[in-house]
Amino acid sequence: MKQALTGKLSGVAVRPAMRRTSLRKHLIYFAFVSPALLLFTLIIVLPFFRAILFSFQDWDGISSHIEWAGWDNYRTLFHDKAFLKSFLFTLKYVAVGTILVNITGFFLAFALNFALKSKNMLRTVYFMPHVIGPLIIGFIWQFIFTQVFPNLADLTGWGIFEKSWLALPNYAFWALIIVNVWYTAGYLMVIYIAALQGVSPDLLEAAEIDGANSWQRLWFMVLPLVRPAITICLFLAITNGFKVFDLNFALTKGGPFGSTESLALQIYQDAFSSNQYTLASTKAIVFFVVLASITLIQVFVMKRKEVEM
């Protein structure tokens, strides 16, 4: 009985010690996390809720007088032709860019997945543009479109290069697409390479022995096996396409005549060029809802793929 009592007392004594140790660990964890959490709150959380409040107010960003506008900004937004035009341009940019970036990235990965002597060097070369900042990329390509293309027209006599593509509404969109593909394809290529290396060569060899040609092996075997990577790359391209700002700002600034103004660029110009902070905040909230919806769809699709696998 004495031993049992001693055991109970020791158990009671151990529990507070364990609680103190656990509390100490949690305090240490919180001490490490708190600086990042504080910065996240100051830079992301508070401005986000401030933007929500701005979207229901009327303020020019300068005066001290702020009026309550209610839902007026949202009513104005959906009758704003400039907003609808930039939203449609963004949708077009996302649709075309997503398809071309993924096709280019996949076929680069597929070509460099073979046993080539220079494949490591070529992988580095194709990935290198993504290491450079998008603003710098934009200014580099701006020089190419405005200076190199006219000189190329003089040398070759090709009329398509006579004028800068950035000054022509019909060509400015494709200029942005070309730069986007050149900048992003190498990044997606790395993801596709990792997926392709998981495809068993024995499986492809067995299919070849059974009479499957190269196209059939690609379509019926390789693509289904790398489907999770395709899903990831599609959503990455869609999200990055909606958020395009740097390339748009550096290349065209929305011109010519607003034909290449993305939604993110219009929000920036409304806030810092036109001092329409409340309208810009309203557009930013709508923009956030769109991106949040895409993210939720991505999470749902990825979880369903995990269950299927």
Predicted local confidence at residue 308, as pLDDT: 55
Cis geometry, peptide bond prior to residue 47 (ω within 30 degrees of 0): no
What are the tens digits of pLDDT across the range 90-130? 999 999 999 999 999 999 999 888 767 788 888 888 999 98
Q: What is the mean pLDDT of residues 122-150?
A: 89
Vertex 295 angle, CA 290 and 301, to 5°? 125
What are the tens digits of pLDDT across the range 7-32? 554 555 556 666 777 777 778 888 88
Q: What is the mean pLDDT of residues 144-156?
A: 87
Domains, the chain? 71-305 (1.10.3720.10)
**Side-chain half-sphere of 86: how many Cα atoms within 13 Å?**
30
Predicted local confidence at residue 5, as pLDDT: 47
Mean pLDDT of the chain: 85
Predicted local confidence at residue 91, as pLDDT: 94
Q: What is the mean pLDDT of residues 62-87?
A: 85
Q: What is the mean pLDDT of residues 262-285?
A: 89
Predicted local confidence at residue 16, as pLDDT: 66
